[in-house]
Every structure is written in structure tokens, then in C-alpha cells.
Amino acid sequence: MKNPYMSFVKAYARAQEKGKACPLGGIPPAKRPKVKVHAPKVLIFSPHPDDECIVGALPLRLLREARMNVINVAVTQGSNKERQAARLEELRNACNYLGFSLLTTREGGLEKINPKGRDGDPANWAAAVDIVARILMEQKPHTVVIPHAQDWNSTHIGTHLLVMDALRKLDPAFSCLVVETEFWAAMTTPNLMIESGVRDVADLIAATSFHVGEVQRNPYHLGLPAWMQDNVRRGAEIVGGQGGQAPNYLFATLYRLQRWTGGQLQKVYDGGKLVSCRDDLKALFA
């Protein structure tokens, strides 16, 4: 008997090759909803240009379904100074494609945003914390999106520390939801699995393709569907409960949702939540 999965795997391989022939950027903006001027704001603090797309499944649904104003904050513009201007332009194009607004921290982006920089250059770190604290005070976000504290990449970890230090500088009355993301390293305790439909996944891949200089050296945008499929496997048990029935999702992204209030992070709910494409996000993010 021939292996019945051979044609299945070959279809994956053909799809990957077909994806390599797709254009990088230069695609008309995706259809976007009308967002009210005073809509609640979601701030994505992105360690690098492209992180807004990779972890953007939840923010994209909050824009499209809850009509929230999603704003990407470019914490850095990468470590290669010769590429920083180009990376900012690529980021601007990617955000425009998705319908995200864009804020920069300062010209060229912040530097030394990593644990070593936090410990070794306290003056630079304090200045960066002040910049982020000012953004938080000015924008008054409903939700803040940051990498989790063990996301392996030093700038991802540094961005987590940076935003947490900035939150601690604010008045204790300041409150917002905090969504932690994963990419380079999986969280041990995510509590939220967000399903994405085919249209959203295709748009996230298309947006990532606008980061032309990055995906030309490594076409990681084409791996996004496989990563999101594996998230379904992990999330079914880590978020849904060990030994539980897996939901009928094709694609999902895992997050940890908490609330910053009273000068600290607090639980929003016990256990985990699986949010399908049919579920209403508005109640969870009220």
C-alpha cells in the first residue's frame, strides 16, 4: 500500500514553492473598517519592524471586529544603522496595508533595548523608559501588547522590561489590559488562544512581505501558517486544558492576557480561553 500521506505532503511543498513566487509588498491596502476618532487604543510595542505582523492576529481582529484603533509603536528600527531608514519605510508600508497606525520612539529608534543595556547603561535605559512612559500617558491605551519576558531574543526581552518599567513610573491609577506575545520562545502559561480565519492569515503574510529586506534573506513570512497551525496543537492543551478536545481551528496565536492596575499585573480570569472566529471579542476586551 502506498503511503496515503505522500500527496498531502507534496501539496504542502507545492504551496511553499508557489508562495515564493508571490510579490513582496506593493500590494494595495487590505479592506479596513471605519474606526471612530475616540475608539479605544491598542498599542503594539514592537521590538523590531515585522513583529507587528507576526504577532498581529489579535490586534487585527480587534481592529476589524471591535473597531479599536491599533497603533504600532516602533521601539527599535533594527540594529543595522544602514538599514534603519529602509526598515522604517517597510514598517510604514506594512502598517498601512493592515490599517494600523504607526508611532516612532525617536529618530532611528531606541538603542540597547536588552537586559545587558538595562544593567550596563542606566542613563540610556532611563531615557528610553521616559519615552515609553510619555507615550503611554499621551495615548492612554485600552490595551498594550508586548513580548513575554522569556521570548529568547534579547530585544524582545528588553522590550518587555522597558514597557514594564514604564508602567511602574505611571500613576497607580493608570490601568490597561496587557497582552503578552510569543514568537522566539513559547510561553509556559499562555491563557488565550485566538483563532484566525484564512483572510486574516493571508493579510498577515502579505503585510509581512512588505518587510522586503528581511524576507528576501529569510522568507519567514511563508512559515506563518505552519507556525499558527502548531499553535492550535499547543493551545488546545496548554490553554484549553491537558487532555482536552482540540478545537476545530486551522490557525491560531497564543497570548497571555492580564490587567495592569494598582501598579501591578493582575489576573483577568482563571484558566484559559479559546476564542474562535465566531466569538465576540468585545466582551473579553470590554
Select from 167, 186, 185, 191 the least CA-distant residue to 264: 167
Neighbours of 41 (CB within 10 A): 18
DSSP assignment of 12-55, as one string? HHHHHHHHHTS-SS-PPPPP-----TTPPEEEEEESSTTHHHHT
Strands 143-147 and 176-181: parallel
Question: Any idea where the domains of the chain sit in the sequence?
Answer: 31-284
| Distance from C-alpha of 42 to C-alpha of 31, rounded to nearest angstrom | 19
Answer whether 59's CB lies under 8 Å from 42's CB. yes
pLDDT at 244: 83
- The residue-averaged pLDDT of 147-166 equals 98
Q: Residue 109 to residues 87, 205, 285: CA-CA distances in angstroms? A: 11, 24, 30
Confidence of residue 58 (pLDDT cuts 50, 70, 90): very high
d(CA 38, CA 257): 23
Share of the chain above pLDDT 90, in %: 97
User: pLDDT for 185-232, tens place per residue?
Assistant: 999 999 999 999 999 999 999 999 999 999 999 999 999 999 999 999
Task: Give the pLDDT of residue 27.
Answer: 97
Residues 6+ apart with CB under 8 A from 172: 262, 263
Predicted pLDDT at 2: 93
Cα of 128 vs its chain's centroid, Å:
21
d(CA 273, CA 286): 15
> Which of 186, 163, 183, 185 minimizes the C-alpha distance to 174?
163
Residue with cell 519605510: 89
Please identify which residue in the block is written with the cell numbers 524582545.
156
Residue type, 22: C
* pLDDT at residue 273 tops 90: yes
Cell 499621551 belongs to: 138
* Axis-axis angle for helices 198-209, 57-64 (nearest 10): 120
What are 272's three cell numbers?
484559559
In the DSSP assignment, the letter for residue 25 is S
Say if pTM beats, i.e. exceeds, 0.95: yes
Which contiguous run of DSSP H or E holds residue 158? helix 154-169
Q: How many CB atoms lie within 10 A of CB 252?
A: 28
CATH architecture of 31-284: 3-Layer(aba) Sandwich (3.40)
Is beta strand 192-196 parallel, antiparallel or unpaired with respect to 143-147?
A: unpaired
The C-alpha atoms of residue 43 and residue 129 are separated, in whole angstroms, by: 16
